[in-house]
Amino acid sequence: MRVLVVEDHVRLADSVARVLRREGMAVDVAYDGAVALERTSETDYDVVVLDRDLPGVPGDQVCRELTREPLRTRVLMLTAAATIADRVDGLTLGADDYLPKPFAYPELVARIRALGRRSQPAVPPLLTHGDLTLDPARRVATRAGVRLALNPKELAVLEHLLGAGGRVVSAEELLERVWDAAADPFTTTVKATVNRLRAKLGEPSLIATIPRTGYRI
């Protein structure tokens, strides 16, 4: 899942990004509305976590721009204002969900995951292939009933491959959906991560490499 965090309080923005990355999400950060609009014009995000009280281009305007066209990007609006009227106002602007500050990180993660599911074609709560099972919500993968020791990036790659339902997924697509804007497009990190994942999944091998095309389960 690709997420953009838009928050002008740098420590809070960076803290949110760290939490989401630990959950296996690819996260970019924008500290003002202008940068947020620039990022969203270049990248197809699943969810934008948007602070309403931004300097320069305010969060309300960013939300209007993001929801002007029928895009699949979902908007979770954050604000220190917690009245019912404020929440209704935020949803009226086009936000898909609204979370007042201060918030608990587990609730934030749960809401982002829920919105992420809405931005994608419907998938089952458990992703399976043969004796391989992945629970995206719990971030747990097992094969033949044995839990696999996968790091967040390996789990995210596996989730994307399983969610593709047998479709070939290119390295470029994995780089865009699993890594963030800091990733080098010429890096071999996708190949290395897939190779580690393939080894951890064990035999018989479940990930096929399609020459000059990509990977598939």
Right CATH number for 2-119 from 3.40.50.2300, 1.10.10.10, 3.40.50.300, 3.50.50.60? 3.40.50.2300
Specify the residue for token string 């020791």: 149
Query: Looking at residue 70, what is its pLDDT?
Result: 65
**In order along the chain (217 residues), what is the average pLDDT of each group of 10 residues?**
94 95 91 93 91 89 84 86 65 83 92 81 75 90 94 92 91 86 75 94 94 91
Query: Looking at residue 178, what is its pLDDT?
Result: 87
Query: Looking at residue 120, what is its pLDDT?
Result: 62
HSE-CB of 211 using CA atoms within 13 angstroms: 0
Q: Tell me how far the alpha carbon of residue 77 is from its chain's centroid.
A: 16
Domains 2-119 and 127-216 share a fold: no
CA distances from 3 to 27, 83, 112 (A): 5, 26, 9
Query: Looking at residue 5, what is its pLDDT?
Result: 97
Query: Looking at residue 123, what is its pLDDT?
Result: 56
Structural domain boundaries in the chain: 2-119, 127-216
Query: Looking at residue 185, what is its pLDDT?
Result: 67
Fold exhibited by the domain 127-216: Arc Repressor Mutant, subunit A (1.10.10)
Task: State the pTM of this model.
Answer: 0.71
Secondary structure (3-state) at 18:
helix
Segment 112-118 long-range contacts (CB within 8 Å, at least 24 positions apart): 112/1, 112/3, 112/20, 112/25, 112/47, 112/49, 112/76, 113/1, 113/137, 115/46, 115/47, 115/74, 115/76, 116/1, 116/3, 116/46, 116/47, 116/74, 118/74
Pairwise CA distance, residues 169 & 51, whole Å:
33
